[in-house]
Each structure stands twice: as structure tokens, then as C-alpha cells.
Amino acid sequence: MGMPKDELRQVFERACGQTRERSPATFDKWFGGVQFEDLTDGVLSLRAQNEFVLEWVKQNFLPDIVANIRAATGWSVQPAWLIDPQIDRPIARAPVAQPVRSKPLSLRPSSGAGRDGGPPSSRPTDEPRPPLPPPEDINPRYTFSNFVVGPSNQLAHAAAVAAAGGGGRRYNPLFLCGGTGLGKTHLVNAIALRVYAERPTTRIRYVSAEHFTNQFITALQHHRMDEFRSRYRDQCDLLLVDDIQFLAGRVQTQEEFFHTFNALHGADRQIVMTSDKYPQALERMEERLVSRFASGLVADIQTPELETRVAIVRNKAALEGIELPDEVAVYLAQAIRSNVRELEGTLIRLAAKSSLTGRRVDLEFVRAELSATVTQRTQTMSVEDIQRAVCHHFHLRTSDLTSKDRHKTVAFARHVAMYLCKSRLKCSFPELGRAFGGRDHTTVMSAVRKIEAQRENDPQLRAHIEAIERKLAVE
């Protein structure tokens, strides 16, 4: 590669030009924060203004640029990055923001869906609004392209893409619910990243319910409520709230959030919330808030199926540059079923130990490492154990739960068994459907939701469940 530096730079600029044709405005905006340093011995050295810009360019543009360089020269190219807030020679000139004008309100009260399929614009203004800094606390690695879609999360993913303006019917509010570590926060981050990339003047507020509460308390203490309300009502085009269940029991904070919700919803500003429970199952939450949470679309994320878990492991390995044999990916997906975050964390831990010890991440190595941890945590209880306990309690036969019998007593016991299996074993709805006589996953989902909603208000149901749980605890 004994080319003069000027010719090397021209090779890079031609590759950038080819990539820019795909989306000139987006390219110019992001590469206004990137500087070309060198292309020597197959190493492409670049300088990024911050980690946010680095990750976005790395995920969305760099693969095409590297491919274009390889196609033109035949070289194997390895990118290398530096972070430097002072970019003297940006690759592109960031476009000047155009005046932002509001669109007519597009929400229909009955449907909660916008006509244009994208987040609402801001209030009318005659002055151009400059691009804003990246949203606070956003993880630049949590993009839609890094999210593995499967049957367990397909609806939530599609709804999140629509909420970010990616087409399809937009629901407002969008309520994402599911267990810990299944991808709710990933999707919320991805919405913020997509909106910021395409509309950098959008005023995005991303906050946890805990942080919202702390900010509210601080504002009360320092007599800054006008400033607090302006931030979340007047100066907000997109509100993303993580772990909304933590507002439970906080009466004043719920009151404030209720009025914030109404102000944003009335102005057709997109609201997205996440929770570990369905709206109707939220405890110590005002009924008027619960009804608003459920007024748009409630999209749940379930435990991923084996095939999706394998894809998640492979995707994480590729992102982290970990060489992972197929049999290892399958073994990890089988060993860790209920938590995507734990699955990815285990892979990183194995890769770190492999690097320190010099051993390959092969099946023998993984089995030895996981035997001391996963085996201890693996539940010895099975669906059959829970079915037997339920049948013993209700004086039924196990075959009754898997039969087509719709008698009230049998159906009630079947619903309780499905609920206990879902809450204790973290099985996916399709897996439970197969275990209960080949039923459709929507049937299981409906049964679980029904028991969840009734448990808190039905003492008799609660007594049944607690008696079965005590029996399971001693077995």
C-alpha cells in the first residue's frame, strides 16, 4: 500500500462519496463530527467528536465505507478511532437546521394513532432551531439494528419503530411491558437514537420514573416547579419514561405525571413508557393513570424462544468480535432462558476469561465455566410439577389441564396453572401453549393476564395461589 498520503485520502473520500449518495443530509450531519486522520497499512484512523457520534457512524455508515475501500483497492481495512471534542477538519459540513413548523394534531381520541406515522413536531416558530446535543443517558449501542427480533418481541419492536417515525401506525401512548432484561430499555433507547438521527432538533426527554420523582422533589424543595413543568411539558416533543412502576404509592409525583401526560398527549407529543407489569397489574397506581397508560397500545415482550436466544448470542458475539462456534451459541441459549441481559453478560464474562487464560471459547470450556453457576440456579421444578400441584389442590387429574374441557372448575384451575408456570418458570407463551394441550399462545397470554389482574382484588383466588405456592415450596 505504498501510496502517497494524498492518494490515500482520495481513496477514502471516494468511498465516502459513494456512501453519502444513500442519504446525503444524514451523512453530512453525522460526518460533521468525524475527521479523517490516516489510511496506512490497512488501518483507517478516524477522529470522532464524542462517543455518541462514533457509535452511530460505526453502526450505520462505516461498514459501507470499508466495503467501498475494499472494492476499490482489494485491501483489508481495520478502523481505529480516537475521541476528540475539537474537530478541526470535519469530513462533511453539518446541514443548517430548517425552520420547524408544527403539523396539525393527528391523534384521533378513539384510536390513539397518528396519521403521519411519526413523532409530532414542535410548536410553530419562525426561527430555525439548531440541532440539540444527544439526549441524556442514552446508550448509543442500543439501536434498532442491534435488536434481535423474534415472535416474543415482534409487536413491541414494530410499535417502537413506528413511534420513532419509521412507518406504520403510531400509537400514543406506547406502553412496553415485560420482565427484567428482555429488551424494553433497548427499544426505548433505539427510539431516541432514531429520532435524534433523523430529526436532531427534536426535544427528547428520556428519564426513569425514579429520576423523574427525584427531579420533582428537588423542584418542590427549591421552588422551581415552573422550570420543571416547562421542561417536561413545553420543551418536550418526545417523552420516554423507563420503569414507570416505580411511581407506585407516590401520590404527588403521580399527580404531576398525570398533568404532564395530559399536556403532552393533548399536543400530540409521543409518549413511550416501560414497565415490568401490565398497566392493570400496577399496584398503588391511580386508576386514572392506569386507564391512560392502557389507552394507546400495550405491547409486551416475552421470554425469547430458543431460536431467538441463539440469534441474540450470535449477534452479541459479532458486535464484540468474539469468535463463537454454533454449538456454543446453542448451549448458552439452552442454559440461560429467562433473561437476555444475563445471557449477553455471560457471553462477555466467558470471553474475558478466555482472553485471560488463553483458552478458546469452545463447548468444553463453556460447560466447565457454567457448571458452577447455571446449574445451581437452574430450576429443578418443571411445568409438570406445577400441573400436578394444581391438580392435587383442585382435586383434578393432570389430563384435565391439557384437555379441551371448558368446565368452569377445570378452566379456572388451568388458568391458575398457566399463571404459576409463567411467573415461576419464565417460560414463553408458545412453550406453555404446547405444554397445555397445544393451545395457542394468545390463549395462555389471556389466562395469565386474567389471573394477574384478579389476584390483588380477589381474596379467594389469592388464597388458592398461596396454598399451591406453599405446596410447591416444600416439594
Q: Is residue 92 part of a domain?
A: no
Residue 171 near residue 113 (C-beta atoms within 8 A): yes
Decide if pLDDT at 7 tops 70: yes
Its domain, for residue 197, covers 114-120+133-301
State the pLDDT at residue 56: 81
Same domain, 203 and 146: yes
Cα three-residue angle 13-17-18, rounded to 5 degrees: 120
Measured CA to CA, the distance from residue 335 to residue 375 in angstroms comes to: 8
Same domain, 356 and 468: no
Residue 299 near residue 328 (C-beta atoms within 8 A): no
Q: Could you report the per-residue pLDDT of 277-321, keeping only the tens digit for each? A: 889 888 889 999 999 999 999 998 888 888 888 999 998 888 888
Same domain, 162 and 194: yes
Q: Could you report the per-residue pLDDT of 320-372, keeping only the tens digit for each? A: 888 888 888 988 988 887 678 888 888 998 988 888 888 888 888 888 888 75
State the pLDDT at residue 253: 95
Q: Is residue 94 part of a domain?
A: no
For CA atoms 330, 331, 334, 340, the dihedral sign is negative
Q: Could you report the per-residue pLDDT of 83-99, keeping only the tens digit for each? A: 877 788 899 876 544 44
Alpha helices in 321-436 (DSSP H): 326-335, 340-357, 363-371, 374-377, 383-394, 398-402, 408-425, 429-435
Same domain, 292 and 157: yes
- How is residue 297 written as a grid cell? 397500545
The domain boundary residue, chosen from 377, 405, 421: 377
State the pLDDT at residue 107: 35
Q: Say which CATH number the domain at 172 has.
A: 3.40.50.300
Q: Could you report the per-residue pLDDT of 102-161, keeping only the tens digit for each? A: 343 333 333 444 434 444 444 444 455 556 666 667 888 888 888 988 888 889 999 999
- In terms of Cβ atoms closer than 10 Å to its own Cβ (0-12, 13-18, 19+), residue 315 is middle
Decide if pLDDT at 463 tops 90: no
Decide if pLDDT at 393 tops 80: yes
What residues have CB less than 8 Å from 165, skipping those under 6 apart? 117, 118, 119, 194, 195, 198, 199
Report pTM.
0.60
Q: Could you report the per-residue pLDDT of 158-214, keeping only the tens digit for each? A: 999 999 987 667 899 999 998 888 899 999 999 999 998 888 889 999 999 999 999
- How is residue 285 written as a grid cell? 397506581
For CA atoms 68, 72, 76, 77, the dihedral sign is negative
222 band by pLDDT with thresholds 50, 70 and 90 = very high
Q: Is residue 102 part of a domain?
A: no
In sequence order, the β-bridge partners of residue 39 are 44
- Number of domains within the chain: 4
Same domain, 278 and 148: yes
Q: Is residue 311 part of a domain?
A: yes
Same domain, 183 and 296: yes
